[in-house]
Amino acid sequence: MTEATQAEAGAVEVTLPDLSDAWLVVIDPQRVFADPSSEWGSPMWDAALEPIKSLRSGFGADRTIVTRWLPGTNRRGSWGPYFERWPFADRPDTDPLFDPVSPAQGWSSRGTLDVSTFGKWGEELTRITGETPTLVLAGVSTDCCVISTALPAADAGATVVVAADACAGSSEESHAAALHVMGLYAPQIEVVDSAQVLRNR
User: What are 134-173's pLDDT values in tens digits?
Assistant: 999 999 999 999 999 999 999 999 999 999 999 999 999 9
Domain count, the chain: 1
Residue range 79-114, pLDDT digits in tens:
999 999 999 999 999 999 999 999 999 999 999 999
Enclosing domain of residue 122 = 3-199
Q: What pLDDT, in 10s, does the model give residues 2-61? A: 344 444 454 567 999 999 999 999 999 999 999 989 999 999 999 999 999 999 999 999
CATH number at residue 146: 3.40.50.850
Amino acid 11: pLDDT:
52
Which pLDDT score, from 0 to 100, does residue 13 have? 77
- Portion of the chain with pLDDT greater than 70, in percent: 94
AA letter at 173: E
* Cβ density class 33-52: b for 16+ within 10 Å, e for less: bbbeeeebbbebbeebbebb
144 half-sphere exposure, CB direction, 13 A CA radius = 15
- In three-state secondary structure terms, 173 is helix
According to DSSP, residue 4 is labeled H
Task: Supply the pTM of this predicted model.
Answer: 0.93
> Given this model, what pLDDT does residue 12 score?
64
CA dihedral sign, ordered 86, 179, 114, 66: positive
Quick check: 16 and 197 in contact, CB under 8 A? yes
- Beta-sheet strand order (sheet of 159-168): 112-115, 64-69, 23-27, 134-140, 159-168, 189-192
